[in-house]
């Protein structure tokens, strides 16, 4: 099946055995983003302590690429300082997965956006002005 769809083994592994799937009941940053083209939705829950992402979980209603990329995104940001988590891009996630078929690249944007959205929510709860950081 994976060869037909053009997914790498790693994508299929993360799709079939997603890491960090679920909710964090006492999350202090929650982000939700959607892809208007396909209607897929991704929700990201973060637990941030002392400026570090100590836990991350996700719930994705979407395609295999959206599920795999959100799972990888949680793995990439756990243990990272907020400023470093904000630097994670969809390219990092794609690279980790060994690539995505071209028509599925856009799905990986949800992962990047959901991290930023959850961190934005974290700052909002603190009443702190949030300015997204973009990588150069
Ligand atoms: Fe919607 Fe992949 S097709 S995120």
Average confidence (pLDDT) per 10 residues, the chain, 136 residues = 74 97 98 92 97 97 95 98 96 97 93 95 91 54
> Do the strands 52-61 and 41-49 form a parallel or antiparallel pair, or are they unpaired?
antiparallel
Look at residues 83, 78, 85, 105 and name the one whose alpha carbon lies nearest to residue 6: 105
CA distance 123 to 129: 7
How many whole angstroms from 12 Cα to the centroid of ligand 1?
15
The domains located in the chain, with CATH, are 9-120 (3.90.1010.10)
Whether 88 contacts 110, CB under 8 Å: no
Supply the pLDDT for residue 133: 52
The reported pLDDT for the residue numbered 4 is: 61
Cβ of 35 below 6 Å from ligand 1: yes
Distance 49 CA to ligand 1 centre (A): 31
116, HSE (Cβ side, Cα atoms, 13 Å): 17
Q: How far is the CA of 65 from the centre of ligand 1 (A)?
A: 7
pLDDT of residue 92: 97
Whether the CB of 54 sits within 6 Å of ligand 1 = no
CB of 67 within 6 A of ligand 1: the answer is no
Q: In angstroms, rounded to a whole number, what is the distance separating the alpha carbons of residues 43 and 60?
A: 6
The verdict on the CB of residue 105 being under 6 Å from ligand 1 is no
């Amino acid at each position: 099946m994976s060869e037909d769809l053009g997914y790498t083994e790693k994508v299929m592994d993360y799709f079939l055995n997603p890491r960090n799937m679920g909710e964090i009941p006492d999350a202090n940053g929650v982000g939700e983003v959607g892809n208007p083209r396909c209607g897929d939705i991704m929700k990201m829950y973060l637990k941030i302590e002392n400026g570090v992402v100590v836990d991350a979980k996700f719930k994705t209603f979407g395609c295999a690429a959206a599920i795999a990329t959100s799972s990888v995104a949680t793995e990439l940001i756990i243990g990272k300082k907020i400023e470093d988590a904000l630097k994670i891009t969809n390219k990092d996630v794609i690279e980790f997965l060994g690539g995505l078929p071209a028509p599925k690249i856009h799905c990986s944007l949800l992962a990047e956006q959901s991290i930023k959205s959850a961190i934005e929510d974290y700052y909002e709860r603190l009443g702190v002005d949030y300015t997204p950081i973009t990588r150069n």
